[in-house]
Structure 1
Amino acid sequence: MNVENIAVKKVFDSSLLRRIFSFAVPYKRSFIISMLLTVVLAVISPLRPYLIQVTVDKYISNQLLQMLVWVTILQIALLLLETVVRFFFSYLTNWLGQSVVKDLRVTVYKKIVRLNLAFFDKTPIGTLTTRTINDIEAINDVFSEGIISIVADLLMIIAILTVMFLEDWRLTLVSLSPFPILIIATYIFKESVNKSFYQVRNAVSALNAFVQEHITGMVVVQAFTGEKREFARFRQINKDHRDANIHAIFAYSVFFPVVEIILAISLGLMVWWGSNKVLNYEVTQGVMIAFIMYLNMLFRPLRMLADKFNTLQMGLVASERVFKILDNQDYIPDRGHEQGRDMKGAISFDHVSFAYVEDRYVLKDITFDAKPGDTVAIVGHTGSGKTTIISILNRLYEVQKGSIKIDGIDLAGYSLQALRSRIGVVLQDVFLFSGSIYDNITLHNAAISREEVISASKLIGIHDFIMQLPGGYDYQVMERGSTLSLGQRQLISFVRALLYNPAILILDEATSSVDTESEQLIQNAIDKLIADRTAIIIAHRLSTISKADKIIVLDKGEIKEMGSHEELLKLEGFYYKLHSMQFNASAAG
C-alpha cells in the first residue's frame, strides 16, 4: 500500500495563489462583484448598531415616537439588505469556486489521459484519483471559505474598529485590552488545527488506500485466511483516523470557549469603565448599547479567521499537488502529421533498444521486418519482452535507441490518434468498463452502428451468447466485467478490435484465458482476418502460431531465433525446446 504523506507547511506560497486565481480569469466579473459585495457588507455591518445608538440617545430620550417608527423601518430595511447581500456573496463565491473546480478538473483529466504510460507505471491509481477529485475539491475552499471570505471578515473588522474609535477611542481601548490574549489563543489554535488537518488528511489517505486495496484483493485475503490479520490492521488505521479527528475537535472545543471568555471579559471591562462615564455624563447610554453590539460583531469573524486561514492553506497544499500533475512533461510528443489512411502495415524494427528504467534495457538491439499481410508470431518465456514490443509499436512508450517504421515512416511521423486507430489490439488482461456490452465494444464511438457491432459479433461467434443475456447488447457489465467469464471478456475485446478495421492487428496472448471452444472461435476469426492485414501474435500456446509467416523467439530481451515453424524446429534450439516442452506437457495431460 503506497500512501503519500502530506508534510506540514508553514508559509503561504503567493505564486500558488496567483496560479489558482488565474483559473478564475474567465469569471473575473463574478470575482469583482463578490469583492465589491465584501465592501458593501463592511459598510452595512456597523450601521445597525449606530442607528440603535442614535435611537436611544435622540429619539427615545426625547420621546420622538414618529422618528422611532422610521428608524425601526430603516433598521428592518438594512437587515433585509444585509441578508440579500450575504446571500449573493455566499452564492457567488461558491459558484466561482465550483466553476474553477470544473475547469481545473477538466484540465487535469485532459493532462492525465495524455501522459506517458511510464507515469502510470510509477504512480498509484489512488493518488491520481485523489488529485482529480479530492484535491481539486479542496481548491474550491480557497474561493468559498478562503481568500475572499477572509478579505470580507478583515474589512468588517476594520470597519467596526474604525467606527468604535471614532465613537470613543478610550472606551474602545478598554474594551479591546484582552485582545493580546485572543491573538495568542488564535495563533495556538491555528497551529494546532493546521497540524491536525494534515494528520486527518494523511489518515484519510491511508484509510482509503487500505480499503480500496483490500476490497480489490479480497479473494487473496480470504484464500489465505488473512481476515483476522487484515481486520486488525484496519482497526489500527481506523483508530489513527479517529485520533487525528479528535485532536482537531479538541482544538475547536478549547478555542471557542476561550473566545467566549475573552468576549465576556471585554464586555465586563467595557461595562465597568463605561458605566462610570455614563454616570458622569461623559458617555451616552446609546454608545454603551452600540458597543455591546460592536464587540459581538467583532468577535464573530475573529472566531473563524484562524479556521479560514487553515482552510486556505490546505487549499494551497492541494493545489500544489494538482499543479505537479499539470507541470508533468512525461508524455509522448504528438507532432506527427501522417494520418495513415492508406496504411499497408509494413513494419520495420531497426536496432531497437528500450528500457522502462534508465539503462536497464528490457529490449536489446531488436531488428526484424514484416511485409504487409504477414503474420509474425513472438514467443518466449515470461519477461522476455514480448508485450513490450507491441507497447512500443503502438507508441505507448518511446524507444531510447533505434527506430520503428510503418510503411517506411517513422512512428513519430504519425499523429498518435491516427497511428493507434490503425492498430487493433487484443490484450491478455481484458479491461471492461461499467456499462453495457454495446458501449464496451464501441467505446462510445458514435460512428460505429449497432448493425456493425452485431455483424462483427457474429463473425467472432459471440452474438448468440450476447443475445441470451438479459437485455442483449444492452446488458450491463459490472466493474471490470466481473459478471462475465475470462473467455467471454476476451471475445468481446476481439469484437472491439475488429470494428476499428485496423491495418495491423496485435493479439497479446489472445487465447491464453479461454476454453477450447472459445479458442477455436477466435482462431477461426483470426484466420479470416490476417489474410488482408499484418498481424503480430504473442502466444504461449505454440500450436496457435504454427502457420505464422515468421516466428521470433525472444529471451531476456534479445532475439535468439527467427524463421518459420519448420525452420525453427530444424534448428533444435530455443523454439525446439519450447515446442518439445509444450508437446510433452500436452501428451502427459
Structure 2
Amino acid sequence: MNNIILSSLKTTAKKKPLNMFLLFAAIILGISMQLVPPQLLKNIIDNNISLGVSNILWKLSSYYMLAVIISGIADFVREFMMAIIGENMLSNIRYNMGEKLAKLPISYFSNNPIGEVMSRFTSDVDAVGTLFTTGLIGMLADTLKALGIIVSIYLLSPTLALYSLVLIPMIYFIAKYFKDATLKAQMKTRKAVGHINAFIQELFNDIRTVKIFGMERHFISNFQKPLNDNIDAVHKTSTFDSIFPCLMQVFRSFIITITVIIAAPSGLGTLGITSGSLAAIIDLISRILAPVESIAMEFQTIQEAVSGVKRIEDFLNEANENRYTDAYDELSMDLSLKDKYTHLSISLKEVSFCYNEGKNVVENISLDIKAGTKVALVGRTGAGKSTILNLVAGLYTPNKGSIKIGGFNPFTMSPNLRRHIIGIVPQSFPIYNGSVKDAITLFDESITLEEVITAAKNVGLHKDIIKLPQGYDTLIGEGESKLSYGQYQLLSLACALVCNPPILLLDEVTSGLDAITEQKIFKVLREVSKDRTILTISHRVSGIIDADEVVILENGVIVERGTPEELVGKEGWYAKYNEIEKLGWRI
C-alpha cells in the first residue's frame, strides 16, 4: 500500500506543488479557525456582555463571523485540493497500470476474466482515491481538529477536558455502529439494483424469444422479486439515515446538559470557570462531535480501501513478459531490410504446448512450410488448430520444441518487425472506436494513407469505403457507422495486408458468412495470397483455399497430411470429412 500511495503522491507532488501546499495550508488554517470562534465567544460574554460593555461588541461579533467564514473557505479549499490531487493520483496509477498491462504475457489475459481486470482499473483504483481523499487525509485533518478542540477545552478547564475525553469513544462507537449498518444496507441496495439491471438486460436481449412464446406475464411476475428486494434494502438504508442524525442531536443536547450541570456553581461543584468559558466549552464540545463522527466513517473507508490497494499491488507485481531480444534490432530499425526476407519458411520441430500447466493441447507437432506455399490445418473444434496458429504468430512460446520463421523465433521478434513479417486475420475482427483508416492501421501513424488505400483496394473494399459519409475518416465502432459482417472480414484482411507481410495466418476467416460472401472472400484471398506463405485453419474441408498441403489434426496430434488430391483418394480422415460434408453435415 505504501508503495502505491507514496509513489503516486510523489509524482503528483512534483506535478502539482502549489496544490499540495494549498492543501496542507487549508488543513492548518481550517483547524485554527475552528478554535477561534469559541475563544471569541468567551471574550464577548466575559468582557462585554457580563460587564455591560458594548462599544467593541460589534467588532468582536464581526471577528467571530469572519472566523466562521474563513473556516468554511479553508474547508472548501481543502476538499477542492484533495479532489484535484486525488484525481491526478488516480490518473497516474491508471497510467502505470496501463503500462503494466502492455508488458504482461498473453497467458495473463487467458487466465483472468476481463471483468476481473476491469475491476482493478475501476473500483480498485477508485478505492485508492477514496483512501487518499476521504480516508488518510480526512482522518489526519479530523484527528488534528479533535486534538485541537481537546487542547482548547483543557486551557479553559482541565477537568472538563478530562470528561470530554470520555465522550470520544462513546461518539466513535455510536457512529461506527450506524455507519456499518448503513453500509450493509447500501450493499444490499446495490446488489438489488444489480439484479434489476441484469433482469432488464436479459429481457432486452431475449425480447424476440419472449414475444414469440408469449412469456411476458412470466417475466413481469419474476420482476417483482428484485423490485421488492430493492425496496426492503432502501427502507433499511433510509431508516438508519433518518435515525442517526436525530440520535446525534439528542446526544449533543445530553452532553451540553451534563456539562452545564457539572460546571454550574450550584450544581455538582464549581469548576471555577466563567460564564464565557462555559459557553466556549459548550461550543467546543458541540464541535468535537463532527470530527470524531468523521473519523469513524474514515476508518471504515480505509478498511474497505485496503483490499482494493492490495489487489492493485498484486497486479503490479505480476511477472512481465520478457520476450524481445537484440537479435532483431537491425531489422527493427530499418524495415527496408525486410525485402531480404520476403520469402520466409515456417518450421515447427516437435512442438508441444499446454495452457496453465494442464494437459498438452498440441503434442509433438513437426511441420515444415516452405516459402510461398499454402498449408491448411483441418480438424474439429478443440483439435489444436488455433493453438498452433497462435504459436506461429508469436503469442505464446512452446513448452517443448521450437518454432522458426526464416530461422527466427517469432516469440522474440519485436512487435514492429512481427507486423511487417506476419499478417494475421482472426476469426472475429475487433473494432475499436475510430475511423476506417484507424481500423486498418490500428493507430500506427507510420502507415501512410496511400498504403491504407492500396490495402483496401487489394481486398476489394475501396469502393465501399469511399461511399461512406467521410470516406476513410468515417468513424466506426460503438454508436457509429456500421459495416456488414463480410465488410468487417475484408477490413480485417486489409489490416493484415497494410504492411505487405510475406506470411499470412488465417483463422476461420469465412466462419459465419453466407455462401455468396464466402465466395467473395475466397476470391480476394486467392488474389492476395500469390507469392505469400499461407497458414490457414478450418474445421471444414470446404473452408480450405487452394492448399498445397492439408494437415489433419485430432486431439492435438497430426493424424494425416498430404495434398488434397492425395488425401481424397485415401480411406482416411480427409476423405471421411469430405464425405460427411457432402452429405450436408457440419463437423
Scaled by the length of structure 2, what TM-score is found? 0.86
**1:571 corresponds to which residue?**
570
The 8 Å contact of residues 377 and 545 in structure 1, kept in 2 or not, is answered as yes
**1:328 corresponds to which residue?**
318
**1:25 corresponds to which residue?**
10
Q: CA–CA distance in 1 between the matches of 2:434 and 2:233?
A: 38
State the SS of the aligned residue for 1:538. Answer: strand
Aligned AA (2:360):
Y
Query: Any residues of structure 2 matched to 1:321-400 within 5 Å, and which?
Result: 321-329=311-319, 332-339=321-328, 341=335, 342=338, 343=341, 344-400=343-399
**1:404 corresponds to which residue?**
403
User: How far does the alpha carbon of each residue in 1:489-514 deviate from its partner, in whole angstroms, 9 at most, with x for none?
Assistant: 21111111111222311111112333
The 8 Å contact of residues 396 and 411 in structure 2, kept in 1 or not, is answered as no
Give unpaired runs (5+ residues) of structure 2: none
State the SS of the aligned residue for 2:584. Answer: helix
Query: Any residues of structure 2 matched to 1:77-88 within 5 Å, and which?
Result: 77-88=66-77
The 8 Å contact of residues 457 and 463 in structure 1, kept in 2 or not, is answered as yes
Q: Which segment is superposed worse, 540-549 or 385-394? A: 540-549
The 8 Å contact of residues 419 and 499 in structure 2, kept in 1 or not, is answered as no
**1:13 corresponds to which residue?**
none
Q: CA–CA distance in 1 between the matches of 2:224 and 2:98?
A: 34
Aligned AA (2:533):
T
Q: Which segment is superposed worse, 382-391 or 214-223? A: 214-223
Q: CA–CA distance in 1 between the matches of 2:6 and 2:134?
A: 14
**2:137 corresponds to which residue?**
148
Q: CA–CA distance in 2 between the matches of 1:336 and 1:242?
A: 60
The 1:378–1:482 alpha-carbon spacing in structure 2 relative to 1, beyond 3 Å, is farther
The 1:183–1:547 alpha-carbon spacing in structure 2 relative to 1, beyond 3 Å, is closer
Give, in angstroms, the shift of residue 352 of structure 1. Answer: 0.8
The 8 Å contact of residues 427 and 508 in structure 1, kept in 2 or not, is answered as yes
Query: Any residues of structure 2 matched to 1:237-316 within 5 Å, and which?
Result: 237=226, 239-240=228-229, 243-244=232-233, 246-276=235-265, 282-316=272-306
State the SS of the aligned residue for 1:45. Answer: helix
**2:80 corresponds to which residue?**
91
Query: Any residues of structure 2 matched to 1:160-309 within 5 Å, and which?
Result: 160-173=149-162, 181-196=170-185, 199=188, 236-237=225-226, 239-240=228-229, 243-244=232-233, 246-276=235-265, 282-309=272-299
The 8 Å contact of residues 168 and 292 in structure 2, kept in 1 or not, is answered as no
The 1:235–1:96 alpha-carbon spacing in structure 2 relative to 1, beyond 3 Å, is farther
Q: CA–CA distance in 2 between the matches of 1:206 and 1:572?
A: 56
Q: Which segment is superposed worse, 566-575 or 556-565? A: 566-575
The 1:194–1:479 alpha-carbon spacing in structure 2 relative to 1, beyond 3 Å, is same
Q: Which segment is superposed worse, 128-137 or 183-192? A: 183-192
**1:124 corresponds to which residue?**
113
The 1:214–1:189 alpha-carbon spacing in structure 2 relative to 1, beyond 3 Å, is same
The 1:101–1:291 alpha-carbon spacing in structure 2 relative to 1, beyond 3 Å, is same
Query: Any residues of structure 2 matched to 1:100-115 within 5 Å, and which?
Result: 100-115=89-104
Give, in angstroms, the shift of residue 404 of structure 1. Answer: 1.0
User: How far does the alpha carbon of each residue in 1:154-186 deviate from its partner, in whole angstroms, 9 at most, with x for none?
Assistant: 111111111112201334455676555434423
Q: CA–CA distance in 2 between the matches of 1:259 and 1:134?
A: 32
Q: CA–CA distance in 1 between the matches of 2:387 and 2:208?
A: 29
Match of 2:64 among 52, 75, 82: 75
The 8 Å contact of residues 262 and 270 in structure 2, kept in 1 or not, is answered as no
Aligned AA (1:127):
E
**1:438 corresponds to which residue?**
437
Query: Any residues of structure 2 matched to 1:454-493 within 5 Å, and which?
Result: 454-479=453-478, 483-493=482-492
The 1:359–1:289 alpha-carbon spacing in structure 2 relative to 1, beyond 3 Å, is closer
**1:54 corresponds to which residue?**
43
The 8 Å contact of residues 24 and 31 in structure 1, kept in 2 or not, is answered as no
User: How far does the alpha carbon of each residue in 1:527-584 deviate from its partner, in whole angstroms, 9 at most, with x for none?
Assistant: 2322232111123453553632222111111111222222222333111222233344
Match of 1:318 among 273, 296, 308: 308
Q: Which segment is superposed worse, 228-237 or 267-276? A: 228-237
The 1:212–1:558 alpha-carbon spacing in structure 2 relative to 1, beyond 3 Å, is farther
Q: Which segment is superposed worse, 23-32 or 124-133? A: 23-32
Pairwise CA RMSD: 3.3
Q: CA–CA distance in 2 between the matches of 1:229 and 1:354?
A: 49
Q: CA–CA distance in 2 between the matches of 1:224 and 1:373?
A: 54
Give, in angstroms, the shift of residue 226 of structure 1. Answer: 7.1
**2:510 corresponds to which residue?**
511
Give unpaired runs (5+ residues) of structure 1: 1-15
Q: CA–CA distance in 1 between the matches of 2:153 and 2:314?
A: 47
Q: CA–CA distance in 2 between the matches of 1:216 and 1:99?
A: 38
The 1:369–1:220 alpha-carbon spacing in structure 2 relative to 1, beyond 3 Å, is farther
The 1:318–1:214 alpha-carbon spacing in structure 2 relative to 1, beyond 3 Å, is farther
State the SS of the aligned residue for 2:360. Answer: strand
Aligned AA (1:512):
S
The 1:102–1:527 alpha-carbon spacing in structure 2 relative to 1, beyond 3 Å, is same
Aligned AA (1:322):
I
Q: CA–CA distance in 2 between the matches of 1:57 and 1:413?
A: 83
Q: CA–CA distance in 2 between the matches of 1:398 and 1:219?
A: 45
State the SS of the aligned residue for 1:447. Answer: coil
Match of 2:32 among 43, 51, 55: 43
Q: CA–CA distance in 2 between the matches of 1:316 and 1:421?
A: 45
The 1:440–1:360 alpha-carbon spacing in structure 2 relative to 1, beyond 3 Å, is same
Q: CA–CA distance in 2 between the matches of 1:480 and 1:219?
A: 22
**1:554 corresponds to which residue?**
553
The 8 Å contact of residues 433 and 480 in structure 1, kept in 2 or not, is answered as no
The 1:571–1:337 alpha-carbon spacing in structure 2 relative to 1, beyond 3 Å, is farther
Scaled by the length of structure 1, what TM-score is found? 0.86
Aligned AA (1:56):
I
User: How far does the alpha carbon of each residue in 1:402-457 deviate from its partner, in whole angstroms, 9 at most, with x for none?
Assistant: 11111112234323443245321112223223443333222222233333323322
Q: CA–CA distance in 2 between the matches of 1:35 and 1:304?
A: 19
Aligned AA (1:85):
A
State the SS of the aligned residue for 2:561. Answer: strand
Q: CA–CA distance in 1 between the matches of 2:165 and 2:392?
A: 73
State the SS of the aligned residue for 1:571. Answer: coil
Q: CA–CA distance in 1 between the matches of 2:416 and 2:484?
A: 31
The 1:409–1:218 alpha-carbon spacing in structure 2 relative to 1, beyond 3 Å, is farther
Identity percentage of aligned residues: 30
